[in-house]
């Protein structure tokens, strides 16, 4: 049996999967380059701003709104790498 390992297209961490899902919603028309270090940075900012992943996964609307605000600012300021579509 071969070991698949961690693939960047299939993040193994729940916070990375959630961030990726939110980015797909925000940038439906523009593709985004999925970069785990950028996700880690957003996760640290979220924690410093008072967010909790445990509360978020239990359904805390306040934490979802906080994370969405952080991601919108990260996109606007260029902390999340957008890529041009392949021609």
Domain range annotation of the chain: 14-77
Query: pLDDT tens digit string along 24-80?
Result: 887 777 777 778 888 899 999 999 999 999 999 999 999 999 999 999 999 889 888
pLDDT at 41: 93
pLDDT at 8 over 60: no
* pTM > 0.85: yes or no: no
The residue assigned the tokens 């980015």 is 23
Distance of CA 81 to the CA centre of its chain: 11
From the list 28, 40, 34, the residue with the least C-alpha distance to 70 is: 40
Query: Backbone phi, then psi, for 28, in 5-degree steps?
Result: -65, -35
pLDDT at 28: 73
């Amino acid at each position: 049996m071969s070991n698949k390992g961690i693939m960047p297209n299939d993040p193994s961490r729940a916070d990375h999967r959630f961030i990726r899902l939110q980015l797909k919603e925000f940038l439906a028309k523009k593709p985004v380059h999925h970069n785990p270090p950028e996700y880690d940075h957003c996760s640290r900012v979220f924690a410093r701003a008072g967010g909790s992943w445990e509360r978020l996964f239990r359904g805390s609307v306040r934490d979802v709104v906080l994370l969405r605000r952080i991601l919108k600012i990260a996109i606007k300021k260029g902390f999340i790498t957008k890529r041009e579509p392949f021609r």
